Structure 1
Amino acid sequence: MYEHPLWSVEFPIDPDICYLNHAAVAPWPRRASEAVCAFALENNTQGARDYPRWSRLELTLRGQLQTLLNAPSKTDIALVKNTSEALSFVAAGLDWQPGDEVLTSDEEFPSNRIPWEALAAQGVKLVTVNLKGPDPEGSLIAAMNERTRLLTISSVQYASGIRLDLRRLGLACRSRETLFCVDAIQSLGALPFDVQALDCDFAMADGHKWLLGPEGLGVFYCRREVRDQLKLTQYGWHMVEDMGNYDRLDWQPANSARRFEAGSPNTLAQHALSASLQLLLDTGMENVWTALQERVSYLVDALGSRPKIAILSPVDADRRSGIVTFAVEGVDQRHLFESLRHQGVVCAQRGGGIRWSPHFYTTQDALDRALACLDHAIGDLGN
């Protein structure tokens, strides 16, 4: 299992911890922590004397996100508080008509369900499709009809970890003139993502999972050709075209995706996220994904060889993500989760089982220790 020497420097994880929770909240790399400390010291000793530097860093961050998403331009990138905010911009911004339908799966995280359910008062119906069959994309496509205004789907489902063929879904949407919205929070930063190749109109992700950044800052990609279809729901000084001209009384929304950024930016989080993204870009997303696949394969093989363990995540390579969810027969999963937590295995309880989510830098030693903790927990709980 490949382990670059730099990774242990960037992630000096407490040796008593096995961190397998990147699908929830990730640790920061050392460079992000150092960037925040330096920014805090700068504020403490200089205040905002060098605010122009902060503005330049914001432009750098937009460029980093443009690269990760392969967006056509920095102007397609909005910096938002979180995935929910970006999804709400789409849900609240489109001009819905009674009878319109939104299509999604029955496995979505509430962030990609509640904004659409909230449209019921406007006569919009949310249609959910089961993904358990042999062809989940085919099931979604088959559910499309002349009333389907938008397909909104997670690139990777948060509980099962199933990875969908977004390119196929994007082609289906484009051929039907259906808008395509991708909640990319469980894939961006874990595997390569290309908004142009996927033909998506909207894509969004928070920074605190696979992107290794802080909570409170995420990205919203909005395709230029559909940007004007979204009416604005928030207004302020930062979203106008002539930003910085505070004496001008007339205004218009920014031509870029900055129109979705109403007020003051989260400069603290920008410093951290920019540092974290540079680590991913320096490593290369293909290399990140290759290393992550090694770790997921190792866990799938190790868990699959143990009796009474059912792997709930897809085992086929083309369906795998960074998530491995499993359950143990005859063991209360809540008690199993608590036992693992007390032994230092940081993970989550999702989808009727235990969800482990390593990242590219996770060491084999950490995986082996987590597996040993699991064996110990099963032994204790099985008695």
Structure 2
Amino acid sequence: MYDLYGEFPQLASLRYLNHAAVAPWPQRAVLAVNRFAEQNARIGARDYPDWLQVEQRLRQRLQRLLNAPTSADIALVKNTSEALSFVAFGLDWRAGDQVVISTEEFPSNRIVWEALERFGVEVVQVDLQQGDAEQSLLDACSPRVRLLAISAVQYASGLRLDLQRLGQGCQRRGVLLCIDAIQQLGALPLDVQACQCAFAMADGHKWLLGPEGLGVFYCRSDLRERLKLHEYGWHMLEHAGDYQRTDWQPARSARRFECGSPNMLGAMALEASLSLLEEVGMSDVAKDLHERVQWLLDGLDKIPGVRLHSPREPERRAGILTFSLDGWDNARLFERLKAEQVICAQRGGGIRFSPHFYTQERVIDETLQLLSQLATG
């Protein structure tokens, strides 16, 4: 059984509200990396087969987290941007094709599609703040649209979209759905089968509580061979490890997107972090996170001069609240909060708070008290 506060002893002196950026590791991830480093120092790669078992457990945990049909649908990638690039430059585009995105996307989910301009692909941007966000996105899916690329949760406003509704709408229109899941995976449950998406990707260093440099790419099995490969190496082969073999073919599994040696150090950390999320259970993670976000929202509403830039409806939120404070420039307020050990971010025309399921009561209370003092002082 996990000791929740024992998992995050390094946060005793911080008010950490920045999981939408880079999250702290739980203690079990720290210990896993320490063990791995010590083993490397003592015996090198003598027990490499044991390392591969950890990597396989990581794939299985990610499969369960996404509810992918099998672990063969899971590729371990460097980051979300790499996975998005696999999709963008893997599909067989024709001049005149269109991709639909929103006007609120993080640059990773905009630039990669704009880079297709040289192939004659047009990017259609949809304003999510004008009425029904899902319907606006689906209405933009004309017969020329091949793919809808959308973040499950917008990084700045925290707006959460109804992925099942989008998936059903895309299915009816013959449009592929690509989900940037980085601001939802690990914060709320995500079911790639229920939302009928073609692709989903996320980094491990936010809500998954893992390191930078390792993420997940889900590719639906019937689409794997439709994505042209641009990276080749020993690890992505069907018969990887048979070094004398001269004939070759890409792996039938999603490992075909992993060209070279794995990030084993990152795998040790992320596998350990995901074990914590599994022990807690994603339904409880979501419930506890909702309570903390609501607590923050209720407190912000009592502070004079606070203007909220995030949705108020529970079904439209995940773990992000963005706000501004009258009389305070955002940059100055951010620096003041940082000086008081409130770890947050400047995003979306305001200050972004992003607690997680384990965030302590005193972190929220002390942060709200500080903001109240700044508002009235």
Which TM bucket (shorter chain)? over 0.9
- Following superposition, the deviation at residue 177 of structure 1 comes to 1.1
**Residue 211 (structure 1) aligned to one of 194, 208, 226:** 208
Distance 1:272 1:14 in 2: 18
Paired residues, what number? Answer: 377
Question: Is residue 2:229 matched to residue 1:232?
Answer: yes
In the TM superposition, 1:359-378 aligns within 5 A as: 359-378=356-375
CA contact 1:190–1:288 (8 Å) conserved in 2? yes
Match of 2:95 among 94, 98, 120: 98
Q: How much does 1:373 deviate? A: 2.4
Unaligned runs of 5+ in 2: none
Corresponding residue for 2:183? Answer: 186
Residue 139 of structure 2 corresponds to which residue in structure 1?
142
Write the distance in 1 (CA, Å) between the matches of 2:13 and 2:329: 25
SS of 2:9's partner is coil
> Residue 48 of structure 2 aligns with which residue?
51
SS in 1 for 2:315: coil
Query: Is 1:151 aligned to residue 131 of structure 2?
Result: no
Equivalence for 2:78: 81
Q: Corresponding residue for 1:326?
A: 323
Confirm or deny: 8 A CA contact 2:160 2:317 kept in the other structure.
yes
Residue among 68, 71, 75 paired with 2:68: 71
1: CA distance between counterparts of 2:80 and 2:367?
30
Which of these residues, 283, 294, 299, is aligned with residue 297 of structure 1? 294
Deviation at 1:273, TM superposition (A): 0.1
Match for 1:350: what amino acid? R
1:307 shift after superposition: 1.1
Give 2:118's aligned residue.
121
State the partner residue of 1:340.
337
SS in 2 for 1:286: helix
What is the one-letter code of the residue matched to 1:175? R
3-state SS, counterpart of residue 7 of structure 1 = coil
Structure 1 residues 13 and 374, CA gap change in structure 2 (3 angstroms): farther
Asked if 1:354 corresponds to 2:345, the answer is no
**Matched letter for residue 10 of structure 1:** E
Judge conservation of contact 1:339–1:377 (CA < 8 Å) in 2: no
Measure, in 2, the Cα distance between the counterparts of 1:350 and 1:343. 19
* Preserved contact between residue 203 and residue 216 of structure 2 (Cα < 8 Å): yes
Question: 1:149-172: per-residue Cα shift (whole Å, max 9, x none)?
Answer: 000000000000000001000001
Cα distance in 1 between the residues matched to 2:133 and 2:288: 27
User: Amino acid of the residue matched to residue 284 of structure 2?
Assistant: N
The 8 Å contact of residues 151 and 180 in structure 2, kept in 1 or not, is answered as: yes
Q: Is the 8 A contact 2:304 2:376 kept in 1?
A: no
Shift of 1:13: 3.3
Query: Do the aligned partners of residues 185 and 358 (structure 1) sit closer, same or farther apart at CA in structure 2, a change above 3 Å counting?
Result: same
Runs of 5+ consecutive residues of structure 1 not aligned to the other structure: none
Name the structure 2 match of 1:130.
127
SS in 1 for 2:89: helix
Q: Quick one: distance in 1 between partners of 2:78 and 2:2?
A: 33
- 8 Å CA contact 1:295–1:358 kept in 2: the answer is yes
Cα 1:350/1:269, change in 2 over 3 Å:
same
Superimposed CA distance per residue, residues 317-350 of structure 1 (whole angstroms, 9 cap, x where no aligned partner): 1101100100112211110000000110000000
Query: In 1, Cα distance between the equivalents of 2:342 and 2:368?
Result: 9
Q: Decide whether the 8 Å contact of 1:336 with 1:378 is kept in 2.
A: no
- Aligned to 1:325, the other structure's residue is in SS state strand
State the superposition RMSD in angstroms.
1.0
What is the Cα deviation at residue 200 of structure 1?
A: 0.3
2:58 to 38, 58, 61: 61
Cα shift at 1:379:
4.6
% of aligned pairs identical? 59
Correspondence 1:173 to 2:170? yes
- Looking at structure 1, the residues matched to 159 and 38 of structure 2 have their Cα atoms a distance apart, in angstroms, of 43
- Superposition deviation, residue 35 in structure 1: 0.2
> Which residue does 1:35 correspond to in 2?
32
Provide the C-alpha distance between the structure 1 equivalents of 2:75 and 2:295, rounded to a whole number of angstroms.
Answer: 37
